[in-house]
Structure 1
Amino acid sequence: MKKRALHKMLSFRSRVVIIVLGMVIGISSLLFTNDMARQLREKEQNEVAIWAAAFRELGADPGNPLLLSIITTRNNIPFILTDGALRVEYSHLIPDYILNHPNLLRDKLDQMTKVNPHLKVQTLYNETLYIFFDESRLLKTLVYFPYIQLLVIIVFVVFGYITFRSTKQDEQNRVWIGLAKETAHQLGTPTSSLLGWLEYLKTQNIDQTAIDEMGKDIVRLTKVVDRFSKIGAATPLSEGVINEIVGNSVIYFRTRVPKNVTLTYNGLAMAQQKAMINEALFEWVIENLLKNAMDALSGTGTIDVKLSSDANWIYVDVRDSGKGIAKGNFKRIFEPGFTTKTRGWGLGLSLSKRIIDGYHGGKIFVLDSEIDKGTTIRIALKKIYS
């Protein structure tokens, strides 16, 4: 127990360390990239200030070779130069469709002003010029890069977690399948011996009723062996009458429940309800629900098994008048290892869910429950007509 708690604690700490490390890397990358973006933004603003000085000294003559050299050499900053009436004198890296459309041009100038305040230039020739400029593509990329990087890190972490979880779950499934098949193999020999001893007892002067009940239990044990042998193997489904299959389990349990427990079932008086099932596995689910219901009663109370249907579904409800389930545990009771009992591994309802959901394409869930008043668990199977 201590080793398991220590393992869980170390596992939790490892996850915390990985999360913190990922956050530190992400934040460090964000801060570093933001600092680079700040430096590049200052550099671009300084370049535009140099252009403003050039326009101030040389005017806005686009044919001036010195002016062209200053503003076009290795320049990837989009800008628009206008006169005092906001008519375009010169532009760089601005599409023609924007320059030729007054409304689009006005929107573009407003957008540039929000990014960088425009510069007003008074030339030596008494011209008033305005320089509107945007961020370069490199600067924009640099600004958004850390967020893209964080997204990539998150995607890889999630993908890695899913892969690790799937691998671990596959390993656990293989272990459980191997354990189930080995259990079936180990139970096979004593079950065969019990059948032989039963035949011997039939030849002795012993109460036949007791022998018949023993025979029923051995048949049930043989079914249990068969169920374990089916785990992990192909599970063929065939048409089955749900009324009768559930009824057989109820009849078997009626002679085995405590005296102060009442077990009722309405299905045998109904019209036949049919579904595609694997009878051995479906019986296993019904038995699990009945056993859980008996455990919840602690020796006194009622168990009501009710069969109903609609146009598409068959419903099997197992209700007990026991201690009930907290609402927060409605889904958790179907998780492997979850149990409120002092004994047991908490696998019965987990296996039941896998059998109903995975093999039969149905549903199993807590229909309702109230503390100290009882619980109803529902199985829903797709109805077939024949």
Structure 2
Amino acid sequence: MESLPNYLISEEILWKMLDLETLCTMACVSKSLRFSVDNEVLPYLASLDLSNVSIDEQALYHILNRLMSVNTLSLNCQRLGDSSLLPFLAPQIQQLNLFRCSLLSSSVLNSIGANCPFLRVLTVEFADQGSPPILFRKNVAYMLSKCRYLEDLSLKIKGTEVDSSAFQSIEFSLPRSIKFLKLKPVLENNAIHLANRLRVSKSPSSSGFVLQFLSLLLDVISDRLLVAISKSLPLLAELHLEDRPDKEPSDDRDLTNEGLHFLGSCHFLTDLSLIRSRQNYQGSFKRINDMGMFVLAQTCTDLESVKLSGFSKVSDAGFASLLQSCQRLKKFEVRNAFLMSDLAFHDLIQAPCTLAEVRLLYCGLVTSETVKKLAFSRSLEVLDLCGCKSVADSCLGSISCLQRLTTFESHRS
């Protein structure tokens, strides 16, 4: 190796293994490889992903100090404070993903805005530290005022005492370049104001907001919210809503069959996720039944991905209507559907089946008969039956017929 020219080592060997772990391993083999890694490869890497490695400030400096051209940076910030990131926030950064930020304060957003004006993608997972929401909102507003090219924004605050008003009035600061927006957690009223503020014309060539992806974790999902979203954001392609109410929502603040009807106004919608979490209390969408699913199936026929959780009043007929009406459906996930049984998949053989991923989680009435129906699918790649206690080992013979299957899970406990 010592006799090989450096350009041959770097261009023919090292540039073909661009992940950092492999490069660091290769650098330990010989002096020639170490020289090439340090001087001819690392300085020109455009992307660095350390999201699966918890490193401290010293290790981060040792790595990033050699990477002069990085524009995409993903970090596990579990052991990193605000000062650890400041030396590496620069104008060339276009994508920044900061995960597990247990030590970072919202002041880091201020620094990001001041140093990364050309940022296009930003993800930050904060830990709830009890800081005043008004300070958080101020730092968010400043950052958004500086990052005018931002297209993808994901801000999450994790913790048991999170103040959901942290994202209040964020709609006044969002740049018009925003296409993907994920906020957790948000109050329903604030989310309605957000949707109304982001109102766009139905023409993609409009100079206004062109939001295509919206994901919110709410205190409650209501008809009022879906009305605001459907009227203001007709260009949405993906809508993910999850709520965690701490008590039974009142009639005027819950999601009903009528609310689902308004989703038909989102003519570009291909990915829909509606989840009522059982984390805070054992609740569900008790005001939605089969009629609501019929309406959804008839108005959103172009859906390719559906994820539903907490629809305890919907029976086989409602879920079957989605499977039969949405001819392009590739992903189908249902959780905690206590009335869903094998009958939901009864006509699956006759209908054209494009399903590639099916997850039926904690659906106690689903048995091995459903697996036999799904075995006729030529496109199924993922099958998850966790929590389906009535699925027996006898279905393994049917599963063996799924030639494209790559993932199968079935934990009955």
TM-score range (shorter-chain normalised) is: under 0.3
Normalized against structure 1, the TM-score is what?
A: 0.23
Structure having the higher Rg: 1
- The higher-RCO structure (CA 8 Å, 6+ apart) is 1
If the length of structure 2 is used for normalisation, what is the TM-score?
0.22
Larger % of helix: which? 1
